[in-house]
Structure 1
Amino acid sequence: MSYHHLALAAKDMQAIHTFYEVVMGFELVKVEIAPVMGGGWGKHFFYRMDGDDSRFIAFWELMDTPGEGEYSFDLNEAAGTPQGTNHYSFAVNTAEELNGWRAKWNAAGLDVLEIDHNWCHSVYTRDPNGNMVEFCLTTGSFTAADRARALAALDETELNPSPPPAMMKQWLAKDA
């Protein structure tokens, strides 16, 4: 089972459109315009990912809704959690594809964080809402020991850290 779409509110729909269609290459294919619960109305924009008509990221441009001047569009800011905790990650199939996203983001003027997590390799940047966006390549496999460790961690209340990342590098757009 996979998800159909992830829906988020947009602080600046034009900036979101530029990021997700021009930079990310997702295609705007549909908008639904309707009243929203609690008052006001919204435009719900759907961006198709990888040409797949069953997987989307969607954004709400909210209009005339109660409290709209007080909204927080950064998921971590809104939740009061540390930056990067709440984020969304898209899959890539090859290291070349992952490196391509890093280069594309840098060329678009975005800073990129790259981390080799020892079992997956990721690149991260921020979208116009301030949310962390990740592309991730799975590079390892999972063992019975990995599952046992994960199950044990469910009951742990003290720090018992995983091995540190094999590599971590910041790619600044100005250096690209």
Structure 2
Amino acid sequence: MKTKGINHLALVCRDMAETADFYTRALGMPLVKTVALPDGGQHFFFDCGGGSLLAFFWWPDVPPAAPGIAAVKDFPAEPKSAVGSMNHVAFHLDEDELDASIARLKAAGVHVSVPIVVNHDDSPMGVAREMHDGVWVRSVYFRDPNGVMLEFAATLRDFRPEDIAHAPARAAEPAEA
């Protein structure tokens, strides 16, 4: 089996009109497909570039959001979410587009996390205040109207064999799925 990347990621929204407005207007992602579900719900697909789609389900009787359980509470300050949850969605972006993207988000009234641009590196903290040669990705975090944590990520270099430097951890008592 050989996959060719992500076809789509399907999330759940609280209001499809609000969600469609955010993704088309604030993020510039074209709405490319809409589906009316037989149970009264909807399933909409947005083109997020590179042949990938971001999709949303909506139902009139959807359960409420559960930050810190089903979704991240605040990134990067409180990054944990429960087993089986979706933590955040990161979109590829060229580094030279980060500043313009931040300006577009702010102009659309979208709150951007602080620090605004996060420099991810291999230091013990995993982030650096200043840009340096060890930074491998720069990103900005923000939320959609449903509380979904989103990220614009600019990868600065190709991954190398030495980037695999840690054995996978095993929990003393694995969390229930």
Relative to the length of structure 2, the TM-score reads 0.69
Give deviations 1:65-104, integer Å, cap 9, x for gaps.
xxx26x1346x44427653340000001x22212221111
Which residue identity lines up with residue 53 of structure 2 in the other structure?
Answer: F
Gaps of 5+ in 1: 158-176
Residue 144 of structure 1, CA deviation:
3.1
The residue that corresponds to 2:26 in the other structure is 23
Distance in 1, Cα, partners of 2:159 & 2:10 = 30
Give the number of the structure whose alpha-carbon radius of gyration is greater. 1
Higher strand share: 1
Match of 2:169 among 139, 155, 159: 155
Q: Is 1:61 the counterpart of 2:62 in the alignment?
A: no
Distance in 1, Cα, partners of 2:163 & 2:170 = 15
Relative to the length of structure 1, the TM-score reads 0.70
Relative distance call for 1:7 and 1:98 in structure 2 (3 A) is same
The residue that corresponds to 1:48 in the other structure is 47
Give deviations 1:38-58, integer Å, cap 9, x for gaps.
xx33111111223x6x42111
Which residue identity lines up with residue 74 of structure 2 in the other structure?
Answer: Q
Relative distance call for 1:78 and 1:41 in structure 2 (3 A) is farther
Residue 27 of structure 1, CA deviation:
0.9
Relative distance call for 1:80 and 1:25 in structure 2 (3 A) is closer
Which residue identity lines up with residue 72 of structure 1 in the other structure?
Answer: P
Higher helix share: 1
Distance in 2, Cα, partners of 1:81 & 1:106 = 21
Relative distance call for 1:24 and 1:4 in structure 2 (3 A) is same
